Chain A
Amino acid sequence: MESNPLVMVVEDEKVIRDFLAAILRNNSYRVMEFSTGGEAIKQLSTNSVDLVLLDLGLPDIDGLIVLDAIRQWSSVPIIVVSAREHEKEKVEALDRGADDYVTKPFSNAELLARVRTAMRRKAAGPLSEDARPPFIVGDMQIDYVRRQVTLVGEMVHLTPNEYKILLILSANAGRVITHETLLREIWGPYVGDNQILRVNMANIRRKLERNPGDPAYILTEVGVGYRMAEPPQENEKPI
């Protein structure tokens, strides 16, 4: 019998730690709780942890240092817990190998969705583009084999770069992808200008979204990046 996934919660504020642990336990995850980064790093090496929820404002070590320490030897999914106004910190955490973040205040549903997405990423592994089944969310479908995007069955005409943006976001649906990552992947390392991405995104939204001002498919994470809406999952419970 396979045991339920083990989540390590690293958070110094007891109220928030209890809250996180309660949500996870109620959804049949096993939970280990830590209030310091040092103890968490020590325990991570001796336990088979499936996911780490890491608050960045820890009393003993900077959360980003904890992240670095874990990433030196482990690829365990890490979700960072952060406050809304700390958008630079989020970008920094994602750059250093965090899988995603949740912004305080967050709902139970939001937290659980992030956890499931991060775990799935680990389970799924890379899949070649040609072998990937079509991505379907709402009325939009991306056919990776034909490299076609349709909206209610109608072909959507995208530029090659617009298609690449959709490709990256849909392959990571549910996860935030930073502006920097998209810029680097599509325009290379020397484009220091965010605007080209803003313009492309505005065009994509005008082609895909019913109301580009109130998007349903590509959501903005202000100051950080973009997140593609996830298709509904068949198995919403862990295990």
Chain B
Amino acid sequence: MIENILSVTRIQSDEKANMRVVKTVEAVEEVIAEAVAAVRKRSPQAVINVVPPGDLLLVPMDVILIMQVLVNLLENALRHAGRKDVHITIGAEKTDDGYARVTVRDDGRGVQEEILPHLFEIHPKENIRGEDASRGLGMGLSICKTIVKAHGGTIQGGNQPEGGAVFVMQLPLQQEDTHGE
């Protein structure tokens, strides 16, 4: 919660500078591991399965902001699953068109159909579920989208055919012919 507010401050100061974020080349597997560790620290009962990484995926990013996106997605899965024993799976893979795709799945009740079109737009005051407004979660996803867009990436959410929610974030991989900062 406190970190959410801090992220807003950070991204807003970036917005003034045309939404530019200061990027360093980071390993996606490290960012995922750190986000998972942060969530486990706050929710020790959380069952989070990390898919073992294949190739090393390097992405230029503001690592603290991207980590915040992943923490938000994982904590959303924990809170919205509608059950205490939810299992979350997070993994990353390379797409054919040069993106690192990070997928967060859970086996909870999924996202309500009427919320789906507005998933990333919900303002805290207009939040449909009262319980969530108090926790600032509606704010979370719109910030996530702002952060991902600032990295030239995309983020989408939906339900899996077999049940449970799924969120997919794609970030441009580092170009092969350039070197890291």
Contact = CB atoms under 8 A, between A and B. Distances in A.
Nearest to B10: A85
Task: Name, among B2, B29, B58, B180, the residue most crowded by chain A CB atoms within 10 Å (CB to CB).
Answer: B29
A219 B36 CA distance: 12
A195 interface: yes
A184 interface: no
B31 A222 contact: yes
B116 interface: no
Contacts, number: 73
Contacts of A221: 34
Interface residues of A, number: 24
A214 interface: yes
Nearest to A211: B52
Contact of B53 (A193, A213, A220, A223): A213
A83, A202, A222: residue with the most chain B Cβ atoms closer than 10 Å:
A222
B30 interface: yes
Nearest to A221: B34
A105 B39 CA distance: 12
A229 to B, nearest CB: 12
Interface residues of B, number: 32
A214 B10 CA distance: 28
For the complex of A and B, 4 pairs with smallest distance between CB atoms:
A214-B50, A213-B50, A202-B56, A220-B30
B64 A85 contact: yes
B21 interface: no
A87 B6 CA distance: 13
A221 to B, nearest CB: 8
B64 A198 contact: no
Contacts of A199: 56
Contacts of B91: 213
A220 B33 contact: yes
